[in-house]
Structure 1
Amino acid sequence: MQKNWMSLAISGLSTVALSAVLVACGSDGDTPAASVPDANKFFNRTATFTVCSQIGASCESDEVTAAEIVAASEDGMTLVYSNSPKGEIGFVDITDVKAPKPLGALAMGGEPTSVTVLGAHAIVAVNTSPSFTAPSGKLVVVDIATRKAVAEIVLPGQPDSIAVSRDGKYLAVAIENERDEDLGDGAPPQLPGGSLVIVDVAGAPGAWKTRTVDLTGIAALYPSDPEPEYVAINDDNVAVVTLQENNHIALVDLASGKVTRHFSAGSVDLAQVDLTDAPRPNQVSFTQSQANRMREPDGVTWLSRTRFATANEGDLNGGSRGFTVWNSEGNVVWDAGNALEHLVARVGHYNDKRSDAKGNEPENVAFGRFDGTDYVFVASERSSVVSVYDMSQPDVPAFKQVLPTALAPEGVLAIPSRKLLIVASEADDRASLVRSSLNIYQYQTAAPAYPTIQSADRADGTPIPWSALSGLAAAPTGAIVYAIDDSFFRGNRIFEIDTAGKPAKLQREIRITDPDGKIAALAATLPAAKDANAFDATDLAAMVNADGTVNLDPEGIALASAAQGGGFWIASEGAGTVGEAARPVLSANLVFKLTATGVVQEIIQLPADVNARQQRFGFEGIAESDGKLVVAFQRAWAGETRPRIGVYDLTAKTWQFMFYPLDAVASPNGGWVGLSDITAMGNNRFMLVERDNQGGPDARIKRLYRIDLTGQADGAVLAKTLVRDLLPDLKAPGGNVVEKIEGLARLANGEWIVVNDNDGVDDGANSGETQLIRLGQLSGG
């Protein structure tokens, strides 16, 4: 994936929308006008348009596609987005914001890098460069109504972003002439340098003229190689241009074509951040600091004639993990500092694999006035969220809310005339269950629907970081549930979550520890290893970290009854497959009895003949009921056709096993179907989550089934009763259907809840969205 479509800026607004924004934001004066905040209105997602549906309605193509930069027609009814992988622009009908419809695509004869709208036309910046050293490009003017190209304008290099002036007199195009990141160490200078192209809009598109603004020699860093990244235009027809790799910002008067001011983007001293990804375990501790971190801004937007904001994504060695408000004199008015890092951790979107890089990586920023209130929207590429800030006090952004997006948001577009916000997420990989999408949000008189879980602060004032939730267990009274994180962080915790409010409050973390050496003591019970594939004492040692925490794969959690001394039961999924050298057995499937403070008290093993069949899909859920533990295996083990339901008698300390009949695979993307969590219902009845391993438009099976173990003999094949199809519940939040429904619990009042595992916001594979869904009382449940 080339950089020039991985790090694009947001598109310009349509003329009508831009006019409304600029007039509303105080563009008739030199300072921004204060707006009146509305505490009852928020943005909520209404729909997600998957770009693959342009190819086929059911999105069954593996072809890589993308929505990167997005613009809207003057009436706000049609979206136009750039699709770099396919070399085209796409059109979407959003007349009904809950049911967007594909309108087809148009080839661009190159790689479209940005798009904006001027009147009846979409203006598309297209990269036609044969090489890094011979950059070239063009503007393609497209009639939106007919979806046909009507003119082309040659550009002097490779374009990255484009903006249109409010009065329609000018287009400004950032000519980046990006560097080859594989050449040497990828550092500049790599000539030719970039520039800014001004298009004078007069007459028919074919008659438009261009002027080039030289940007060399203005930056202290790599002055011979300016790399303009993004451009925005204010009501005075002054363009602000970010030169990301140069860590510089320039202001250009479009009428004269002169650089009127330029200045360094400077640096930030970051405190209370996490800068460490490895070695594991990584417990995401906001205790580190980083001095003089260059901002290296990417996206930029004007807030008024005299204020603008930058998203400080970073490149090379920079990136301040936040965004900055500037005045046109080049002074910092306000800087986010570590606020975005803490925010994404608080809502479960912290991407730990980016701790040692650029953190949440703010990519783009947009502005809009909605019903009298000014807002700034900041897209975080690596955390897949948009942070919304209230700008009622122009120099003091106030956090309003956070919105989930599909993976890797790039383009952000405000359409105040329709009370809409559009975000383009570019990542697309069907094999990884990732589909590029246009996220559609509406400004409403309604409470925010997201996040569904939000954490409290630790003693040092930083949020409890959380992610990768697996099983759930409800307290016997009240609205408290307990969740666990799985193997992602390799240092396991139990989370106490109060579900009484919205969002639910993750209010306490309990680290699992083994101070008494219970795990090491298992070595005496292991059979002599027969081959290198077998589970042995070395593997046991790896299950305890140097700091005393444990490195398990907890997939299921249950509260231990008073008869069992209280505390927790944890079902830890084994790793590896017996007899498969490529997947050696690194741990067995184990049940852990923990105290209420997370200390390992007891470990229960499977019988040796069952362990001999181990596959890598093992324990997924656990429940205690009537003196027995019941564990659900995810999938069938060697030589078997159905997954096991294991029943362990806590008094006799013996196992028996039944078999569960899974539904057949139904997804057009294939995959498998397996079990997740299990919850006791009393009287030997249990509720199970059965799901496929598919997400988004390929998801088909997300279901709750009830089983009854009364009178079931060892080896019996169980009957099951469908209680609820969860797909409608998973589609209701308006996003792509999440894959891993792995937590299930019934509260004391009989209400059922489910939660998904977001895979630890694994870089490039999961957006981090976590949906804790309240199902209410269930018929038959």
Structure 2
Amino acid sequence: MTRHLLLTSTLLATAAIAPAHADMNFNRVASFPVTANFDGAAPDETSAEIIDATADGMTLVYTDSPAGVIGVIDITDPTAPAPKGTLAVDGEPTAVSVIGNTAFVGVNTSESYTAPSGFVKAVNLADMSITASCDLGGQPDSTARAKDGSFIAIAIENERDEDLGDGRVPQMPAGDLVMIDVVEGTLECATMRRASLTGLADVAGEDPEPEFVDINDLGEVVVTLQENNHIAVVARDGGLVSHFSAGAVDLEGIDTKDERAALTFDQSQPGRLREPDGVQWIDNDHFAIANEGDMDGGARGMTVFRKDGTLVWESGASLEHAIVQIGHYPDKRSDSKGAEPEGMEFGTFDGTPYVFVMAERASVVAVYDVTDPTAPVLKQLLPSGISPEGAVAIPERGLLATANEFDGLEDGAARAHVMVYQYAEGPAAYPHLTSEGMGELTGWGAISGMVADGEGMIYAVSDSFYGYQPRIFKIDPASTPARIVEAIDVTRNGMPAQKLDMEGVVLDGDGNFWVASEGRTGRVIPHALYKVNAKGEIKKEVGLPPELMAVEKRFGFEGITLVGDTLWMPVQREWKDDPKDHVKLVSYNLETEDWGAVLYPKAAPEKGWVGLSDMSVHGDHVYIIERDNQHAGDAVTKKVYSVPLSEMVPAALGSDLPVVSKTLVRDLIPDLTSTGGYVLDKVEGLAIMSDGTAWISTDNDGVDDHSGETMFFSIGAVAK
């Protein structure tokens, strides 16, 4: 049967995250870098894509396509994952399912799109030996195991060439579904049976391209045909149970423009094809799909169907709206598929069934309570590594693990990771910052400099990533999580102010702000200071004097603070006249308009570079963030130092500048790893309340080659 299903308004879910259960939540407890699984030097590119676990839940197995291996991790102690090495599989591993202690790995060996080939290989994880191999006659894309361990299902995609014919299907040969019995842990190739999926879909029905598969307790296989926008349910003997169109969704309140510089959620996409990717059974009658899109579609959410094709629930844009509110929206992908929900997992924890949806581009895991499959509730959004692809639930141990495929070596970003989450008593640790409750959908990201007022609020600026939408955010840190309560657009002559890279902000005591903008000569962004009123209007611009412009380089002002009548700005890195490993703290007197500076001695980098970020004053000291540009295990310097105000006596520019002394206040690396993640690169915000309590924030780079994670936390009083 074939049904074209359109969204009805009665099936829309709400956008807000449901209040977390007070007693039980998922929280990340560990991150494992894929590079740790290689003896000696790791390859230039690694990945963690699809993941599963052994029957006892003590070992994780993941596919690493670029390296041509599967990787194995010991999670006997889930808070301290340990490497168990890799195994080459003589091809590109695309999927893995584990029965007992045997991993069944789909391996792509295709010579071309028109000559696809591949195998499924059985790997004994006890001695890492390949015990069986079955020729699949095509390119495997995903695998699933029967709940009773009696057989595996493999989606043979025979994927299209996206550079051929505008990437449209049909492109032969067609894909199909393969099932193979597993007898006493042994893969029996002779039992292979194929289920034809041709002629089912209205979209290129002669060329089905199956993506993900899952198997229910009855042994029925549900398979998504992504480019065909179709779904099929197949019995274990290969007979067709049902099939139907995945249908379309009317999306409202989304961002569809690739301006990459502003978050504007006032557009719509009527009749957007779902084009599902991930799929998971909830029970023997209901399953959920993740609507990533690929060729023409991408409905940006999750849908629940009955296996007879009845649509019972649709998230619409609500999942993406929740992602927007926690600062994870990938604006660079607005004109494509937005947050791109892709992989899925299902697990029942302490009697509560959950569906986990991996948003590939937003780098979050959405946790839905599906106690009622007709009314799922979004319980949590979990931070992940960059581009979560696969997940495995281990309910008997209260664990969830995700495989995050993006390797950022070439882009200066974090490398691929596997992350582990624990289901336990206690509050949700993430998000740290949200715009939920503002009354309208407000996106944010790339938080840079901060400042506290005298009433317990914090103001933060976004940097040049949102160049067409510069904003100052008012944050209430007393909320849990901290909440953005106001977004002030920075304007010039009534229009959004352009050519800004706001990296620091301070209050002047009269209701106005001073903003430090970091210059980019090649991008025609001036090094400058701006006076901005409470409405966000730029009232004054102060350019740098010739003495500074003669020696300026990229990496300019990274913060700003006010001491009496003098503004102080830390320069991030050395300019042309600075001694090695010394940078200027530049002063500007608001009364006399005189410029000056002192020198700050920063740490020598162990790798990459070390520079300064934000600055704030409290009592008789200024406090400065000093950081390197490294992630994860390469990070060394993420620290807060104090400098006595008595030494902040500026000398004339061009003269011999005095060198101030510094005292370590806080090493931030323990804070940055306290939520089980890897160390984030950009610690960029520092605000100190009137009682001396300091708050720290990280810059998420606008979710561009970044996990999108923003940490916003207090380190307590800086002065005892």
**Structure-2 residue corresponding to 1:453:** 433
Q: Structure 1: how far apart are the matches of 2:708 and 2:187?
A: 46
Which residue of 562, 573, 583 maps to 1:624?
562
Residues 492 and 551 of structure 1 are in contact (CA less than 8 Å); yes or no, is this contact kept in structure 2? no
Q: Structure 1: how far apart are the matches of 2:48 and 2:188?
A: 30
Q: Structure 2: how far apart are the matches of 1:46 and 1:713?
A: 46
TM-aligned CA deviation for residue 508 of structure 1: 0.4
Alignment pair present for 1:249 and 2:231: yes
CA separation of 1:515/1:549 partners in 2, compared to 1, >3 Å: closer, same or farther?
A: same
**Structure-1 residue corresponding to 2:355:** 376
Deviating more after overlay: 636-645 vs 419-428? 636-645
After superposition, the C-alpha distances for 1:568-619 in whole angstroms (9 at most, x for unaligned) are 110001112xxxxxxx361321111111111112222221121121101100
What secondary structure does 1:292 align onto? strand
Residues 512 and 550 of structure 1 are in contact (CA less than 8 Å); yes or no, is this contact kept in structure 2? no
Equivalences for residues 251-270 of structure 1 within 5 A? 251-254=233-236, 256-270=237-251
Which residue of 614, 626, 629 maps to 2:552?
614
Which residue of 98, 107, 110 maps to 1:126?
107
Equivalences for residues 29-178 of structure 1 within 5 A? 39-55=22-38, 61=42, 63-178=44-159
CA separation of 1:66/1:226 partners in 2, compared to 1, >3 Å: closer, same or farther?
A: same
Q: Structure 1: how far apart are the matches of 2:307 and 2:43?
A: 46
Residues 379 and 410 of structure 1 are in contact (CA less than 8 Å); yes or no, is this contact kept in structure 2? yes
What secondary structure does 2:592 align onto? coil
Q: Structure 2: how far apart are the matches of 1:248 and 1:313?
A: 13
Question: Which letter maps to 2:216?
Answer: N
Which residue of 399, 402, 409 maps to 2:378?
399
What secondary structure does 2:195 align onto? strand
After superposition, the C-alpha distances for 1:701-733 in whole angstroms (9 at most, x for unaligned) are 101111124253511111111111111111111
TM-aligned CA deviation for residue 38 of structure 1: 5.1
Which residue of 330, 337, 340 maps to 1:351?
330
Q: Structure 2: how far apart are the matches of 1:384 and 1:73?
A: 25
Alignment pair present for 1:753 and 2:695: yes
Equivalences for residues 254-403 of structure 1 within 5 A? 254=236, 256-278=237-259, 282-403=261-382
CA separation of 1:625/1:705 partners in 2, compared to 1, >3 Å: closer, same or farther?
A: same
Q: Structure 2: how far apart are the matches of 1:345 and 1:54?
A: 34
Give the TM-score, by structure 2 length. Answer: 0.94
Aligned residue pair count: 690
Q: Structure 2: how far apart are the matches of 1:660 and 1:748?
A: 25
Give the TM-score, by structure 1 length. Answer: 0.86
Q: Structure 1: how far apart are the matches of 2:433 and 2:213?
A: 36
Residues 121 and 144 of structure 1 are in contact (CA less than 8 Å); yes or no, is this contact kept in structure 2? yes
Residues 530 and 538 of structure 2 are in contact (CA less than 8 Å); yes or no, is this contact kept in structure 1? yes
Which residue of 611, 617, 620 maps to 1:674?
611
Question: Which letter maps to 2:604?
Answer: A
Q: Structure 1: how far apart are the matches of 2:270 and 2:436?
A: 27
Question: Which letter maps to 2:594?
Answer: T
TM-aligned CA deviation for residue 502 of structure 1: 1.5
What secondary structure does 2:322 align onto? helix
Residues 707 and 721 of structure 1 are in contact (CA less than 8 Å); yes or no, is this contact kept in structure 2? yes
CA-atom RMSD, angstroms?
1.5
After superposition, the C-alpha distances for 1:641-678 in whole angstroms (9 at most, x for unaligned) are 22110111221110111111110012xxx211100000
Q: Structure 2: how far apart are the matches of 1:700 and 1:191?
A: 52
After superposition, the C-alpha distances for 1:52-84 in whole angstroms (9 at most, x for unaligned) are 111258xx7462111100010110000000110
Q: Structure 1: how far apart are the matches of 2:88 and 2:583?
A: 49
**Structure-2 residue corresponding to 1:776:** 716
Q: Structure 2: how far apart are the matches of 1:454 and 1:644?
A: 35
Question: Which letter maps to 1:593?
Answer: K
Q: Structure 2: how far apart are the matches of 1:500 and 1:658?
A: 36
Residues 180 and 188 of structure 2 are in contact (CA less than 8 Å); yes or no, is this contact kept in structure 1? no
Which residue of 468, 484, 487 maps to 1:509?
487
Question: Which letter maps to 1:233?
Answer: I
Which residue of 702, 713, 726 maps to 2:668?
726
Equivalences for residues 638-717 of structure 1 within 5 A? 638-641=576-579, 642-666=582-606, 670-683=607-620, 685-710=621-646, 712-714=649-651, 715-717=657-659
Residues 499 and 526 of structure 2 are in contact (CA less than 8 Å); yes or no, is this contact kept in structure 1? no
TM-aligned CA deviation for residue 503 of structure 1: 0.5
Residues 631 and 647 of structure 1 are in contact (CA less than 8 Å); yes or no, is this contact kept in structure 2? yes
Q: Structure 2: how far apart are the matches of 1:591 and 1:56?
A: 51
Residues 272 and 287 of structure 1 are in contact (CA less than 8 Å); yes or no, is this contact kept in structure 2? yes
Q: Structure 2: how far apart are the matches of 1:302 and 1:372?
A: 16
Residues 38 and 86 of structure 2 are in contact (CA less than 8 Å); yes or no, is this contact kept in structure 1? no
Alignment pair present for 1:228 and 2:166: no
Alignment pair present for 1:201 and 2:139: no
Equivalences for residues 18-37 of structure 1 within 5 A? none
Deviating more after overlay: 68-77 vs 160-169? 160-169
Residues 505 and 514 of structure 2 are in contact (CA less than 8 Å); yes or no, is this contact kept in structure 1? yes
Q: Structure 2: how far apart are the matches of 1:207 and 1:53?
A: 34
Question: Which letter maps to 1:687?
Answer: Y
TM-aligned CA deviation for residue 381 of structure 1: 0.2
Question: Which letter maps to 1:408?
Answer: S
Q: Structure 1: how far apart are the matches of 2:187 and 2:246?
A: 37
**Structure-1 residue corresponding to 2:461:** 484
Question: Which letter maps to 2:448?
Answer: S
Residues 554 and 573 of structure 1 are in contact (CA less than 8 Å); yes or no, is this contact kept in structure 2? yes
CA separation of 1:369/1:204 partners in 2, compared to 1, >3 Å: closer, same or farther?
A: closer
Q: Structure 2: how far apart are the matches of 1:566 and 1:322?
A: 42
Alignment pair present for 1:553 and 2:535: no
Equivalences for residues 491-640 of structure 1 within 5 A? 491-515=469-493, 547-561=495-509, 565-576=510-521, 584=522, 586-640=524-578
Residues 324 and 336 of structure 1 are in contact (CA less than 8 Å); yes or no, is this contact kept in structure 2? yes
What secondary structure does 1:619 align onto? coil
Q: Structure 1: how far apart are the matches of 2:356 and 2:184?
A: 35
**Structure-1 residue corresponding to 2:15:** none
Q: Structure 2: how far apart are the matches of 1:396 and 1:324?
A: 11
CA separation of 1:204/1:622 partners in 2, compared to 1, >3 Å: closer, same or farther?
A: closer
After superposition, the C-alpha distances for 1:213-270 in whole angstroms (9 at most, x for unaligned) are 111111111111110101101111110010001000001011x311121111000011
After superposition, the C-alpha distances for 1:272-309 in whole angstroms (9 at most, x for unaligned) are 1111122x6x4322111111110000000000000000
Residues 433 and 696 of structure 1 are in contact (CA less than 8 Å); yes or no, is this contact kept in structure 2? no
**Structure-2 residue corresponding to 1:15:** none
- Show structure 1 runs of 5+ residues with no match: 1-36, 517-546, 577-583
Q: Structure 1: how far apart are the matches of 2:526 and 2:393?
A: 52
CA separation of 1:165/1:206 partners in 2, compared to 1, >3 Å: closer, same or farther?
A: closer
Residues 452 and 689 of structure 2 are in contact (CA less than 8 Å); yes or no, is this contact kept in structure 1? yes
Q: Structure 1: how far apart are the matches of 2:428 and 2:278?
A: 26
Q: Structure 2: how far apart are the matches of 1:109 and 1:416?
A: 33
**Structure-2 residue corresponding to 1:529:** none
TM-aligned CA deviation for residue 206 of structure 1: 5.3
TM-aligned CA deviation for residue 201 of structure 1: 2.3
Q: Structure 2: how far apart are the matches of 1:224 and 1:775?
A: 61
Question: Which letter maps to 1:559?
Answer: L
